[in-house]
Structure 1
Amino acid sequence: MADIYTSIACIMADIDAVGKTQKNQQQGFKFRGIDDIYNAVHPILAKHGVFTVPTVLSERSEERTTTRGGNLIYRILTMKYTFFASDGSSVDSVVIGEGMDSGDKAANKAMSVAHKYALLQALCIPTEEMADPDKESFEVTQSQNTQSSLSLARSFPRQDTPLNLAGLLSVEEFNIKDAWNSILERCRGVQVAAREVFKQHGADSSKEITYEIYQKVFLSLQSGKAQETKGPEDFIDDEIPFTSSKKRVIA
């Protein structure tokens, strides 16, 4: 019987590239769906005697309002997927999944996204393309608790040229530290400006930075559409506040 590390190496050797053959209807980008991943890996996992078991480590839910006035349930799940081999050995993959839905499917969507990326990253499944958002995207209004400090109008320039997406992290590359440094660089190193623009898009602390929020912040800076705000007195010091250090690191 093979251990989990040997089994995963054998699985990686057998898996072919999974291309992005599906298309997001709202924004037109291509993506790999969870069904594409399952169809590719299921027979190979079975061949090598490997399976996964999910565990929800934490979850956060909130209601959001679309630009058309509808209600959406937004859920973020931190998931642990344990890969077991036939000899009983195992290895864990911890990922974050985000899902939005107007009914009762937000958690289901979040788990599907989390499992997809656990498989993609643990098994290093190749693809012909590197860029990636997920299938569904929603436009939401600004959260009430994101009204906060200092005008950003002079922290970064307004651009009238087409968007330049160079430097935008993909989902596979995303982590909070790199996301913070990416936005801080675009705010010319002004931490107050970087913190404020994150807050405008719903992240009052570093812990709340998700890929969706990072992507919206990046695009708002590129297009010059970040909102001006008033007064420093409204900053909310949440569980893990943004660092006030001069170093470009995340708290």
Structure 2
Amino acid sequence: MSVYKAISAVAKDMAEKGISKDRENRQQGFQFRGIDQVYNALAPALVRHGLLILPRIIERTVTERQTQRGGVLFYVVVKAEFDFVGVEDGSVHTVTTYGEAMDSGDKATNKAMSIAYKYAAFQTFCIPTEETAVDADSEVHHPSPLSPDQILADFTTQATECADLECLKQLYKPAWNGLANSPEHQKKCVEVFQVRGKELNKAA
């Protein structure tokens, strides 16, 4: 299938040319490759070898967190699928990655999508890199630990958005573990899990 020939050809170009690491995270003093550099390096190779990358965001969660200075950060996680399509015969290979990012304004989702794309490209084309910095990239946030009330509230909100029991179970374990120092909150977490579980069982 042409999609694998095209991926291999693009990977060959990336191995020969690479992507320079000339962006600097000033807060922590390391170099990184930005998403725009990935786009600029990949675009000519994708066109030359007849390969399309079509993104699709299939999940998104948002959590508000507090910074050490009392500000608000929006923490976004996206699950993304990328269809790699060989234009010669329409053959498709799908890659799934996650992107996480924080922002104090309205850019957390954009950053998370860029992260998902960047690492899908790094891993698919084996782009040479010495270190992989997150693409929020020129800034690092330091959120304070979530309080038991926040953990329980986040779990309750996300549980109502689950469409099946598997989703609910994946959310429940880290929430329950995060409440280890508060038996009272753990009890409420169990109650939310049980109530929502019954609702999902009934709906199924």
Q: Secondary structure of the residue that 1:43 maps to in structure 2?
A: helix
Contact 1:18 1:36 in 2 (8 A): yes
| Counterpart for residue 106 of structure 1 | 108
Q: Secondary structure of the residue that 1:205 maps to in structure 2?
A: helix
Q: In 2 relative to 1, CA 12–75 (structure 1 residues): closer, same or farther, beyond 3 Å? A: same
Structure 2 residue 7 is the aligned partner of structure 1 residue 5: no
Relative to total residues, which structure has the larger strand share, 1 or 2?
2
Of 115, 118, 128, the residue aligned with 1:116 is: 118
TM-score by length of 1: 0.58
| CA deviations over 1:154-182 (Å, ceiling 9, x no partner) | xxxxxxxxxxxxxxxxxxxxxxxxxxxxx
Quick one: distance in 2 between partners of 1:204 and 1:26? 34
Task: Count residues with an aligned counterpart.
Answer: 162
Quick one: distance in 1 between partners of 2:106 and 2:64? 12
| Counterpart for residue 62 of structure 2 | 61
Quick one: distance in 2 between partners of 1:82 and 1:132? 24
| Counterpart for residue 173 of structure 2 | 205
Paired letter, 2:114: S
Contact 2:115 2:134 in 1 (8 A): no
Structure 2 residue 141 is the aligned partner of structure 1 residue 138: yes
The ranges of structure 1 where at least 4 consecutive aligned residues each deviate by more than 4 angstroms after the TM superposition are 229-239
Q: In 2 relative to 1, CA 105–231 (structure 1 residues): closer, same or farther, beyond 3 Å? A: closer
Offset, 1:42: 0.9
Quick one: distance in 2 between partners of 1:22 and 1:146? 39
Relative to total residues, which structure has the larger helix share, 1 or 2?
2
Quick one: distance in 1 between partners of 2:150 and 2:76? 22
Q: In 2 relative to 1, CA 14–54 (structure 1 residues): closer, same or farther, beyond 3 Å? A: same
Offset, 1:132: 3.5
Offset, 1:232: 5.4
Identity %: 39
| CA deviations over 1:58-105 (Å, ceiling 9, x no partner) | 111011111111111111000001111112111111000012112211
Quick one: distance in 1 between partners of 2:149 and 2:140? 21
Q: Which has the higher contact order (CA 8 A, sep 6+)?
A: 2
Offset, 1:205: 3.4
Unmatched tracts of structure 1, length 5 or more? 149-202, 208-228, 240-251
Q: Give the root-mean-square deviation of aligned CA atoms.
A: 2.6
Paired letter, 1:139: H
| Counterpart for residue 42 of structure 2 | 41
Contact 1:3 1:89 in 2 (8 A): yes
Unmatched tracts of structure 2, length 5 or more? 152-170, 194-204
Offset, 1:147: 9.7
Paired letter, 2:115: V
Paired letter, 1:11: V
Offset, 1:57: 1.3
| Counterpart for residue 33 of structure 2 | 32
Structure 2 residue 80 is the aligned partner of structure 1 residue 79: yes
TM-score by length of 2: 0.70
Q: In 2 relative to 1, CA 57–205 (structure 1 residues): closer, same or farther, beyond 3 Å? A: same
Q: Secondary structure of the residue that 2:114 maps to in structure 1?
A: helix
Q: Secondary structure of the residue that 1:8 maps to in structure 2?
A: helix
| CA deviations over 1:126-161 (Å, ceiling 9, x no partner) | 12x13544413201111123899xxxxxxxxxxxxx
Contact 1:147 1:234 in 2 (8 A): no
Paired letter, 2:76: R
Q: In 2 relative to 1, CA 52–17 (structure 1 residues): closer, same or farther, beyond 3 Å? A: same
